């Protein structure tokens, strides 16, 4: 696999214009809606919200969004019907459906209808941020799910990584770490956010976060040994930053 300058340009363009990205949250649970809105606004997104089917439908007809978060269970309708409406209008928005953890049928149907991703409640905000960025990137890449940063190419769906065209073998946690860093380049990320994204709920059971250091140390060595042009730097007392 050769070096893809077009994807690199799109990645740089995405990072440069992230503050202009517009997100619509269609969610009836007020507390969750407000928390998600505030967290996205801190990341410089433009955020609009709708608390039911009708208001969501109205906003979809009047505006365009880079990403739409849709709760399936709305008080006056089904979020999957809104998903179908988005597709009928040929909107180019990335779509992430959110619903209860046990709603497997809804997940399958939503993805079949054209959703880009599915997130089960409850979820960590760091994971939501990563999913949004990934979904928007795929749209910007015209459906190509490859992510390129410098001489590193990552495929989220195939879970493969290559450096200058040569495959880099990573274990599951190492891949998840690299994916998280590569969609957050040049951003200082604290250890807790990294742990929550990669290890999820199991983080709460840990006495400390030394396991984050151990996994990142292994990943950094593999990247260095493969002549990767990216580096994950430790910021003492805070976390890590990839550049």
Last residue of a domain, one of 92, 122, 140: 140
Whether residue 73 sits in one domain with residue 153:
no
Note the pLDDT of residue 164. 92
**Quick one: tokens of 160?**
């493969």
Cα–Cα distance between 219 and 215 in angstroms, integer? 6
Q: What is the Cα–Cα distance from 66 to 93, expressed in whole angstroms?
A: 5
**pLDDT tens profile 159-211:** 889 999 899 999 988 998 998 888 788 888 888 888 877 776 455 555 567 78
For position 91, what pLDDT does the model report? 84
* Each residue's pLDDT tens digit, 69-101: 999 989 999 999 999 988 888 888 899 998 875
- Rounded to the nearest integer, the mean pLDDT of the chain is 82
CA distances from 5 to 8, 36, 128, 151, 154 (A): 5, 34, 28, 10, 14
For CA atoms 236, 211, 240, 165, give the dihedral sign.
Answer: positive
Q: Is the pLDDT of residue 50 over 80?
A: yes
* 59 φ/ψ angles, rounded to the nearest 5 degrees: -65, -35
Segment 130-158, tens digit of pLDDT: 888 878 877 665 555 678 888 998 887 77
Q: Which residues are within 8 A (CB) of 52 and not within 5 positions of it... i.e. 6 or more apart?
A: 28, 74, 75, 76, 77
Length of the chain: 243
- Identify the pLDDT of residue 16: 41
* 122 and 160 inside one domain: no
Nearest Cα neighbor of 156 from 187, 134, 174 is: 134
Q: Which residue has the higher pLDDT, 149 or 23?
A: 23
- Name the more confident of 199 and 23: 23
From 140, 174, 198, the end of a domain falls on 140
Domain membership flag for residue 3: no
Kindly state whether residue 13 falls inside one of the protein's structural domains.
no
Q: Looking at residue 101, what is its pLDDT? A: 59
Look up the CATH number of the domain holding residue 213: 1.10.10.10
Proportion of the chain above pLDDT 70, given as a percent:
83
3-state secondary structure of 10: helix
Tally the domains of the chain: 2
* Same domain for 207 and 187: yes
Q: Which of 42, 90, 51, 91 is nearest to 70 (CA)?
A: 51
Distance CA 233, CA 181 (A): 11
Report the pLDDT averaged over residues 226-241. 91
Asked if residue 125 and residue 235 are part of one domain, the reply reads: no
């Amino acid at each position: 696999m050769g070096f893809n300058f077009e994807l690199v340009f799109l990645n740089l363009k995405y990072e440069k214009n992230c503050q202009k990205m517009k997100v619509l949250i269609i969610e009836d649970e007020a507390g969750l809606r407000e928390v998600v809105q505030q967290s996205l606004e801190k990341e410089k997104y433009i955020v609009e919200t709708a608390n039911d089917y009708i208001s969501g439908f109205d906003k979809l007809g009047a505006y365009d969004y880079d990403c739409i978060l849709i709760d399936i269970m709305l008080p006056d309708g089904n979020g999957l019907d809104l998903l179908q409406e988005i597709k009928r209008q040929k909107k180019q928005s990335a779509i992430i459906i959110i619903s209860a953890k046990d709603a497997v049928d809804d997940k399958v149907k939503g993805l079949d209808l054209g959703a880009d991703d599915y997130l089960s409640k409850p979820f960590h905000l760091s994971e939501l941020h990563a999913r949004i960025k990934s979904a928007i990137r795929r749209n910007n890449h015209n459906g190509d799910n490859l992510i390129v940063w410098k001489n590193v190419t990552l495929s989220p769906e195939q879970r493969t990584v290559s450096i200058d065209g040569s495959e880099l073998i990573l274990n599951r946690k190492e891949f998840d770490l690299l994916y998280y860093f590569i969609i957050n380049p040049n951003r200082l990320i604290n250890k807790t956010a990294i742990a929550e994204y990669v290890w999820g709920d199991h983080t709460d059971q840990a006495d400390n976060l030394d396991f984050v250091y151990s996994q990142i140390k292994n990943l950094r060595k593999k990247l260095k040994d493969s002549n990767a042009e990216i580096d994950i730097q430790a910021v003492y007392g805070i976390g890590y930053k990839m550049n």
